Copies of this chain bind each other. A is one copy, B any other.
Amino acid sequence: MSEVATRRGGTAGRRAAKAGAPLVQKRYITREIPLYELLDPAGIELIHQQSLTILEEIGIDFRDEPALALWRQAGADVRDQRVRIPRELLLAKLALAPSSFTQHARNPERSVVIGGRNTVFAPTYGSPFVRDFDNKRRYGTLADLQNFIKLTYMTPELHHSGGVICEPVDVAVPKRHLEIVYSHIRYSDKPFMGMVTAPNRAEDTVRLAEILFGADFVDRNAVLTSVLNCNSPMVWDATMLGALAIYARANQAVLVTPFIMAGAMSPAATAGSIAQLNAEVTAGIAYAQLVRPGAPMVYGNFVTTVSMQSGAPMMGTPEPAMMIYVTGQLARKYRLPLRTGGMLTGSKIADAQAAYESMATMLPTLMAGANFVLHSAGWLEAGLAAGYGKFMLDGDQIAMLQAFAKGMDLSSESLAMEAIREVGPGGHYLGCAHTQRNFKTAFYRSEIADNNSFEQWEAEGAKDANQRATEAAQRLLKTYEPPPLDPAIDEALQDFIQRRRRELPDNVT
């Protein structure tokens, strides 16, 4: 099997089927296809202007004294914790954020450019539960987290190791961040995320990154991309602002992302929800520029709608898809990188609902021009569970999106006029020279999809896609080999972690 064929098809699955095959990583996507613009420029301007009016007239709460001081100093109208931001001030600060930046990995070949025509895929984030190898739901452990890090490392279509892929519930909360960050460094050489659940955990992440990359390098380069949420509507709280300030000051990237359940935390309306989200994001990014002008920030969008009957969040429905497209247009207007979308679903298991909803979110994500896609693989149950089967299924799908994003080859080899002439009416192409040259790379072939006959599928156990994918995850893990890590750096990381383990309490007090 040639490397070319391996690159094109479902690499992870093929490796799993054939231990010892070389691990071929892929570069992040550079889109060669046009973006989809849902609204015309007048529509975007309408939402943009409404956001500016919201921030100028209604204002937004920054529940953090240092943040309020910075806003006062910058000339905003600050009363109690409410900050009203003149539109000129907001736009001037937004303009300081870079339109694109490199997040460095410890292996330079895995560094990613976030912005422009690039798309970087990262796995799911924050699940307390896993759906395990027996397709049972249970709490996540450190072993699960490390499994997901290893699977991500071995999935060429995932360019980023992510962060809290699942919660290692067997590790004490105050020390969990240390184990998570170390696991990403130890078991992968792809870029990873910083911890945000308390300012001191963000500090520890930056210290670990400094040990890994050198303090000077970290001050000059993004080596962490973390995710921080606004409390919608229109509240940035002290925990998030504390972490945001630490990362911005350290010149580290943040996905500034309101987490909105529209109808409860934003209006029961698509356009109004976007206008509010846009105000929240831009205020957060502008604030980061007050902390450190030029700090790399990503325009983040995470919106579900809420069922007014049950209160449950709904995903994969038409309104979040529209919002994904419109935030793409807004981010481009502000020349900011975009984080949106993912393989989102409310389904408890990797069934048809999970797949419909995931694709109905992920296709708009790609076509909207998302630059960073969290939750690209493994998400289940509105984020409450990370599934091994779902992870592999999603990985297969994003491999296909990468092929799609390359666009249609219009070379003469692809136009194949000579083959059409040679075969002629009533012939067939299986034997012709053009087919021999091209069949390995012409068409994507999934290793998880079953396209065999009914009889063969039945003879092989009539397994559904999730069963096959869960088995593929187990096989793939058996082939894992860690990337090399400098023993001196490893020792320094472990020394720091040992010290912090002693200093930190075992329980949140």
* Residues in B neighbouring A408, C-beta threshold 8 A: 38-39, 43, 270-271, 322, 326
Asked if A2 is an interface residue, CB under 8 A from chain B, the answer is: no
Contact check, B449 vs A263: say whether CB atoms are below 8 A apart.
no
Tell me which of B382, B403, B429, B452 contacts A310 (CB under 8 A): B452
Cβ-defined partner of A445 (8 Å) among B234, B262, B309, B435? B309
Contact A457 B348 (CB under 8 A): yes
* Cross-chain contact B54 with A420 (CB below 8 angstroms): yes
A36-B36, A359-B363 known; A271 vs B445 contact (CB < 8 Å): no
Cβ–Cβ contact B435 & A384, under 8 A: no
Q: How far is the CB of A429 from chain B (nearest CB, A)?
A: 6
Cα separation A372 to B411 with both chains bound (whole Å): 31
Which of A147-155, A393-401, A481-489 contacts its partner?
A: A393-401
Q: Is A178's beta carbon under 8 Å from chain B?
A: no
Q: Which residues of chain A from 415 to 451 have a CB within 8 Å of any chain B CB?
A: 415-417, 419-421, 423-430, 434-435, 438-440, 442-446, 448-451
B442 touches A269 (CB 8 A): yes
Known contacts A272-B420, A454-B381; A404 and B310 CB within 8 A of each other:
no
| A165 at interface by CB-CB < 8 Å | no
Contact A430 B264 (CB under 8 A): yes
Q: Which of A21-29, A284-292, A311-319 contacts B (4 or more CB under 8 A)?
A: A311-319
Number of interface residues of A (CB under 8 A): 127
Inter-chain contact B271/A450, CB cutoff 8 Å: no
A binding-site residues for B, Cβ under 8 Å: 33-34, 36-39, 43, 46-47, 50, 53-54, 57-61, 82, 137, 231, 233-235, 262-273, 275-276, 305-310, 312-319, 321-322, 326, 346-360, 363, 367, 381-382, 384-385, 390, 393, 397, 400-401, 403-404, 407-411, 413-417, 419-421, 423-430, 434-435, 438-440, 442-446, 448-454, 457-458, 462, 464-466, 469
Sampled A-B contacts (27; CB under 8 Å): A34-B37, A36-B36, A43-B408, A43-B410, A53-B417, A235-B426, A263-B435, A265-B429, A266-B429, A268-B438, A270-B409, A272-B420, A306-B443, A310-B452, A317-B403, A317-B444, A318-B401, A319-B442, A322-B404, A326-B408, A347-B449, A348-B450, A348-B458, A352-B469, A353-B448, A354-B355, A359-B360
